[in-house]
Amino acid sequence: MRLSAVPAILILGMMLAGCAGRSGTEESQAKRPSKETTNSIARMTAPMPSAEVAGVAAEESGHQTELAWAGQVPNQQAFEAVTRDAGMAIPSQRPMEMLAPSAPAIGSTPRGRSKVYSQRFRDAKPINFGKVSPRHHAVHGVDVSRWQGEIDWQTLRTQGANFAFIKATDGGDHLDPMFRKNWQRAKDAGIKRGAYHFFYWCRTAGEQADWFIRNVPKEAGALPPVIDVEYNAESSCKKRLSRAKVLEKMQVFMDKLERHYGQRPIIYTAPDFYADNLEGEFLDYPFWLRSVAAHPSKRYPGRKWVFWQYSGSGLSHGVSEKIDLNVFRGSVNDWHKWIAGQSS
């Protein structure tokens, strides 16, 4: 009947109006924030890892799974959208002894502290560092990623791995597939460990900070998080940013991590990147320096440092592949004091 057409027309008009309203809402929600503002993790658009991280490569899995530590975000408040000026205050300076011990301390190690093992590492490409050899340092450690494969962490510790920096993330959407396994097994072996992020210059600092926080647990006793900044000829990102832009992006990333973990991040870098961007900068941050052909004082004159990566060709029982070797600057007592100062 013709009269029934009137209600139908009214209903159709109401439906079209509702669709238009929803479309406008979705469009406004899709707008991205400013590039260097730290985004809320709930709004991240980066794809989640598509593999179980315990040794299965992402490309071997045909489905995507959302990754959250222990199945839940541990602290929802930490994931609210913030800018560099929001959240916990960032101290402008910390006592330098917390950042870079300047000389070995004399004294015995108090009871209750974890045992420090003497290093038994070998090197496939040994270097003569002169009078100040890495072997003169009391506390040695390693850094690892998926490329070391399966690691016998108990054995590695007895060979002198008193600490380990473990590759966690890079960019805004990649998780090292061995991270969770290495993170747990290193802890089970009694090794002090921290996680590092390889910084990608073609993604915003906020996205990368959120991605790291999503995948690396906030855990008592862990070493401070690490930002790895260097040039990478194999990267798909070919940008060479200005020094000012590099420093800005690093600051955004590090501020976000310090607010979340309560620890000042460690900066890892290499000589060429340091000379172009970091000389004279971030004096109140701890540095981890790569210097595989000479002592850091030759490559980074005047820079205080906490860790020195002296080899990329180390050999050790417990690892079938070559491994990066590192030392802590200071005595055994300095090591324990420094660890105590990093508590969040």
Which amino acids are annotated catalytic?
A: 143, 230
Contact criterion met (CB below 8 Å) for 45 and 173: no
CA proximity to 138, closest of 114, 110, 158, 162? 162
CB atoms within 10 A of CB 193: 25
Three-class SS state of 44: coil
Strands (E), the chain: 122-123, 140-144, 163-170, 174-175, 192-198, 226-229, 266-269, 287-290, 307-315, 323-328
Three-class SS state of 262: coil
Copy the structure tokens of residue 211: 């991605």
Contact criterion met (CB below 8 Å) for 207 and 235: no
